[in-house]
Amino acid sequence: MTTATRIDWTREHCRLLQAIRREFAVTRPFEGLTIGTGIHIEAKTVALLTTLRAGGAQVVATGNLNSTQPAAVEALRAEGVTVIGAQTRDEREHGRYQRELLATQPDLILDNGGDLFARYLDHPYPSLKGGTEETTSGRMRLKPLRDRLRRPVLVINDSPIKQFAENRHAVGQSTLESLLRLTNRVTNGERVTVVGYGACGRGVADNLRGAHAKVSVVEADPVTRLRAHLDGFDTPARDRALSTADVIITVTGAPGVITAKDLPLLKDGVILANAGHFPVEIDAAGLLKAPEVRAVREYEDDLATLELADGRRIHLVARGHMFNLAGPRALGNSIESMDLGFALQARCLEAVATGQVDGTSCVVPVPAEIDAQVADAYLADRYQ
């Protein structure tokens, strides 16, 4: 009888990374190279960074703003990864960690939001081979810098695999799971309004319908709204969709989707939750201090109920933060969906390290052959 942690559990179930790790231990694609990264330091990323380490890399990591988990730092250090800094919400402190990381002149950068590549341009050095960028917002930030970067930078989130495996399916599912876990409320027969019908919104709407909710979609783009309609969702005008909802979930990527101005519309007992990445879609601060709010009642697990002067109650989940990562037991997207994305990361970094892509591949999607390789690996044996 041995005991193990959630980090162990996660790592052991990253099937693709495990196989790549065994391969890298032989092929050593990063022998002699340093990889610098600003990816979140939590259970799942441990599996990625230790896989890179197994491929011969020196790995130097500093976390993202606020998200660094001490147990993950410990697990990384136990495997020889250098971790700079600690959890912080202080942007200047965070910037100092990043500069310290770049001072090691990593050969490859695994970026998250474009911070490291952007800072690299402040103090460029010739040995940088290129790297990867995890996010779409990073891609948008780095694209205008291509003339100066002139190195391969492969954008993971632009892979179709990320779009359907993570954004659509995994986010949709963890949103449903979080709603149940946090509120313990029924979904059957409830009117749920999903604001936004991109890949994430489609997943949220699909999973809530699978849970027997009556789902309406609010979507600004008429072509996408028609798509939602033909997918069988109600597409009422925004104000009606808000005023009839028992649950409202925002997943637009845009700020100010629900603000204090909407309070008059909302139904007694409505639940407000944000599944978008940034805590800007529901203006929680604005709602809490709205003049018609008579009292706020705070519950365990970051639930809050706003009592309005006219007696209506508005339930706010996770203060508008991405609620599928909220609460003490939030494990987030499924291990397999992360494993897919991180296998793309590992293969892309391998491609950059071994010169399979060149400087013309600067801020471009994952090469199609890497997508195909990872998809094949996922399905091999187990599902065929």
Residues numbered 337 to 366 that lie near its own copies (CB under 8 A) are 337
Restricted to residues 43-72, the positions that interact with its own copies (CB under 8 A) are none
Comparing CA positions, the residue from 238, 296, 235, 285 lying closest to residue 265 is 238
Burial class (CB in 10 A: 0-12, 13-18, 19+), 208: buried
Restricted to residues 296-325, the positions that interact with its own copies (CB under 8 A) are 296-301, 303, 305
| Shortest reach from residue 266's CB to its own copies, in Å | 15
| Shortest reach from residue 327's CB to its own copies, in Å | 7
Among the residue ranges 31-39, 124-132, 193-201, 291-299, the one whose residues contact its own copies (CB under 8 A): 291-299
Show Cβ contacts of residue 330 under 8 Å, excluding neighbours closer than 6 positions. 178, 181, 324
Would you say 101 or 303 has its CB closer to its own copies?
303
The single residue among 210, 255, 355, 359 that binds its own copies, judged by CB under 8 A, is: 210
Under rule CB under 8 A, residue 231 binds its own copies: yes
The single residue among 2, 26, 122, 147 that binds its own copies, judged by CB under 8 A, is: 2
- CA 153 to CA 130: how far, in whole Å? 6
Under rule CB under 8 A, residue 184 binds its own copies: yes
* Cα distance between the two ends of the chain: 34
Under rule CB under 8 A, residue 11 binds its own copies: no
| Shortest reach from residue 32's CB to its own copies, in Å | 32
Alpha helices in 292-382 (DSSP H): 335-353, 368-379
Q: At 159, which amino acid appears?
A: S
Under rule CB under 8 A, residue 254 binds its own copies: no
- CA 205 to CA 175: how far, in whole Å? 10
Under rule CB under 8 A, residue 174 binds its own copies: yes
Under rule CB under 8 A, residue 334 binds its own copies: yes
Under rule CB under 8 A, residue 222 binds its own copies: yes
Under rule CB under 8 A, residue 384 binds its own copies: yes
Under rule CB under 8 A, residue 177 binds its own copies: yes
Task: Write the DSSP symbol of residue 112.
Answer: S
- CA 233 to CA 208: how far, in whole Å? 11
Burial class (CB in 10 A: 0-12, 13-18, 19+), 72: buried
